[in-house]
Chain A
């Protein structure tokens, strides 16, 4: 009997693995494979015309944050790289904060509409997703460039004499990223607000809480899962953004994504590009772990 059920269990397990095989294969090839190649490349020597030479070297990793002076060979921090890292983290954080700032009221507004209207509002939030990212970004460029809509209107109204330089600044990069990633904040926030029991808000008012206290003490703790999910969904792609900083930053406001692209393109330093990619991955993972852990601790305390 034992033998029989043992065989059955083994067969069931084999069938399960076989059913999983296609998905696992794709995951292995598409996710782990390229990552592994990237990791290997980061320890090789750059080829003269791009590509790599199969010669072990730690130069790429060294160059991620350090540099050797070309004249006297002294070691120093790679100021250029560090400032790009710093800008990437700073702009991504700003983008996330701005997305919360604009996304939270938006999600709340939609969640408090009558049920029938909500789908329409959500559709309006999602529609921009149907358009190409590049086109959406250029649309924003058209709005804020020196001869663009905003400046033309302001000049025509006589409010300013000279166009305000908005494009090719950090402001324009954040604006572009907020515009592109805002739906990623609104969607999870809306999902958790829709489940919110609005009698809890009435209970808050009933128990002498002001509007601000209701927001801080009742709504925020209850929609926190959505807030966390939205922040991750915005922060992670912001950190690796390539198109928006390229178009809106005009080539002199680089972020990590642009720096990596540069190594594989004009820079012809594939190992450095690979090392930077792995660094970006590590930064994202560390940030996520720290964030989830901090949020998780809160959760345990409040339930």
Chain B
């Protein structure tokens, strides 16, 4: 789960990382008031779950409260990579002597948290990694012992020479690691970590992703979820226990299992169509889930045909069949539905569907070809 910069900064502040103050505005009026409260120059920053906000014009320096208002009115409502900006963070502008990068992520290859630090901050770290890899220092943290003091010091000395700065940065490394583990992050990034002319080290931007699996024990962090930042269909899917990602095509897909769901989408493309979504109904055999899935898929006006691909293992085919019949009774489904069911209780499922007037396939290729054909005809 991605969280906003202002939320990430709250987590960082709680861990003791020096972060400048800031407040969130949803209207230009509010932005002006916040700016006036700080006095002097402020930065108005779009709060959306994507990088490249600066390039898109979503981060602006304002020398007065009136100018902050102007910037906010332009930024609020603007679209950055298809995401509409609904909040801005207003924060006092800082004078910057230097910018560094500090990040922690879960490294799959070494199966542990990994620090990445670079004295070249304020830019995309992937770019630095590609053009100037020597400017990045990586450190695998042994998850059993955490970040050890000499390791934190080693990272800090890669960024700074001045002992006063090294001391501050060493402390920040430890605080960031604690924020990362306490909040079950998959990524926690400070970019940039700045040095002010007065010699203070501060985090002026923050990016954090939280592991969804840990939210059950982090109620305060779970509250950070911004329902406005995701399509309504994805919220509904999550509440129904479905895994769903909206795409741009016209063939709605309903599949059990993530791997098979992806393979089904790929096969739609192979036969010349475009999938409208990724949807995994999971391993359970609950007809209500199938109803919810069909409600979500049919709510997308682009969908011209709906495709079911079910390989019954734990999932029982007859339960899915009952769900389809039940959904057809409860909601008005306009696009044609094609169904492939095979595995556990396949016979019963085929009978249920036949009696309700649906026809079913047992081959994955056949059903996908048929769905693509129907979508093209519509």
Do A and B bind? no
Instruction: Show the binding face of A for B, using Cβ within 8 Å.
Output: none
